[in-house]
A and B are shown apart, each in its own frame.
Chain A
């Protein structure tokens, strides 16, 4: 896909929609399967293992969770369009090189019954191709979340060529009109809608990274069994055995944090923050460790572009940064643990 110059494959997404994945968090009344966050994490993990590029996280996890926090007819129709594959979404939050929604500066100025949005968003994952954008902006002191069509007048998208070859865009908003109806939730209360959506996305992204780590580890184990040097499989060398075994341990421990986050989001979403940040922090760490160890244990072939390890490595780097890096989530854990 990368070599064809594409960041996103509509056919792949269509087949995911046909399997019901787009509606995994959409209520049955809106045409979804409503299987919950733990199930969404299982899917995300598989996608991580196979490096599948799709708007699954942005649309089926983040946008669907945001829309579910709102109970009006408009939100219900939007959820139905997600489940049926008629709409994809991207979340436009970041404005600087680090994720931090509280520092949002982009302004939504009240005008008549609506708003005018001006400013710039960065690192909008899936933002180059999405049909709709969830946009976080400041209305006075407080934050408000908008649900806008991506082709609204005044929106210009600048697709970036990212190291992981996925869709990402910088998006400029030049006096973009938004109606009151396009506010998701209440004016000035973006976090009521956005917090659950972010946590769902962070957990699923952590699951994707865990799958990625497992993929990198699995590839590496196979190589250790096949590759011969000094007349024996290199996996017979204790130095490499211990590197691989340690990595497996890290993957197992992180997998527990992912399972726990999915369960907390399903059973006790009000108190899931610690579990989600723990999962994202651990997954960011483990995935990056897995790809670095993977390259080292593969030796020279791990450095070649023809080989998958490089794709794992580049995706791990991007995913570690998206929706809050290790430090961001470590601070959340620390706050709730008496630091």
Chain B
């Protein structure tokens, strides 16, 4: 794309954002209380949040890189960079975040049929349907491929029985994308399929799991003779592991993106300086400087891999690196935030503690740090075993 076209795009976008982004949405907040997740039962936290979503939906800005026919704005990589730069310039909140956007969307775009894309993607883009992810099971954590949830072919429908765990927001989601076993005889990676299930279906139930942060973002999800229409498998039957792996790389990039801060998010120094103890303590300051340096470099790495992906060189196993480095850094950062906050941060009402506690899951969910290191050791470095 010509530089002049990009300049025009930037100018138009900037004018649109200035005109349409409500003032209340210009605080750059990205904590649990400020995120708009969407869905059938979504209660907007404010009128501004509702208006901001509605306006972005008309432009396709909830999913800027998706094709226009599926509810996106069809932006290319250069335009996408500009989009994020301009959003940051206004310190604008993202209008909508969801597992549909981060995970299912990319998987459907890659593996879905045209009909599936037309059916499932636009409601994600509009924030109408909220999705959750059914991967882990009580007996299948790091060894995900050993999952046992059973999905039987009953001729005109599938019949699903089993249990998922760590299903984020399953109690609030409208639909679930899940990995199920469709062939019990095949080697464990070869008998898995990727299915889409309406959470309103008879036989689906959820139970929240209370976490150390005091909240219950994760659930147990039970499937008891759940009937699923035949056209709700994504990709080929028994080839769901391919979809799962593809989706996991997106999940890992998404989780690691939280750690990188080259231009995105706020500088750690600025955040810590707001605390009463701030950056006066030399040891805290030194630790924070290190974290800032590492965060900037990880952010640049994220950009570098996106550029490579755009050029047709897939990040592939490198997403394991981004996930590992990004989440470990995120944990360090929130430790610093708590240390800077001193005793102020220890009261629940202060709000920092739940975020700090939440980060402890970052290096577990989506593949533990140790699983990431093993992937790198074997697939990137070629070490034996």
Contact = CB atoms under 8 A, between A and B. Distances in A.
A242 B373 contact: yes
A281 interface: yes
Nearest to A238: B374
Contacts of A257: 296-297, 300
A282 B297 CA distance: 8
B288 interface: yes
Contact of A248 (B288, B301, B380): B380
A278 interface: yes
A166 B374 CA distance: 39
Contacts of B273: 338-339
A292 to B, nearest CB: 17
A105 to B, nearest CB: 27
Nearest to B272: A339
B381 to A, nearest CB: 5
B292 A339 contact: yes
Interface in A241-275: 241-242, 244-246, 248-249, 252-254, 256-257, 259-260
B293 A249 contact: no
Interface string B264-303: 0001111001000001000001101110111011101101
Contacts of A244: 377, 381, 383
B187 interface: no
Interface string B43-67: 0000000000000000000000000
B324 interface: yes
A304 B269 CA distance: 43
Interface residues of A, number: 33
B292 A253 contact: no
A253 B262 CA distance: 13
Given A225-B383, A236-B383, A330-B289, A245 B377 contact: yes
A281 B321 contact: no
A76 B370 CA distance: 56
Q: Give chain B's interface residue range (CB within 8 Å of chain A).
A: 35 or more
A241 to B, nearest CB: 4
A282 B380 CA distance: 22
A333 interface: yes
Nearest to A286: B297
Given A249-B321, A339-B285, A236 B385 contact: yes
A241 B289 contact: no
Contacts of B372: 245
A225 B318 CA distance: 21
Given A241-B373, A252-B321, A339 B289 contact: yes
B384 interface: yes
Interface string B363-380: 000000010111011101
A244 B377 CA distance: 7
Nearest to A339: B269
Contacts of B381: 221, 241, 244-245, 248
B298 A333 contact: no
Nearest to B372: A245
B220 to A, nearest CB: 31
Contact of A249 (B269, B285, B290, B324): B324
Given A242-B377, A259-B304, A338-B267, A333 B293 contact: yes
A248 B382 CA distance: 12
B317 to A, nearest CB: 11
A249 B376 contact: yes
Contacts of A225: 382-384
Contact of A245 (B279, B292, B373, B385): B373
Given A224-B383, A331-B289, 16 more contacts: A225-B384, A237-B385, A241-B374, A241-B378, A241-B383, A242-B374, A245-B373, A245-B380, A253-B321, A254-B297, A256-B301, A337-B268, A337-B292, A338-B267, A339-B269, A339-B285
17 contacts: A221-B381, A221-B383, A235-B385, A242-B373, A244-B381, A246-B324, A248-B376, A249-B321, A252-B318, A256-B301, A330-B289, A330-B293, A334-B289, A334-B292, A337-B268, A337-B270, A339-B285
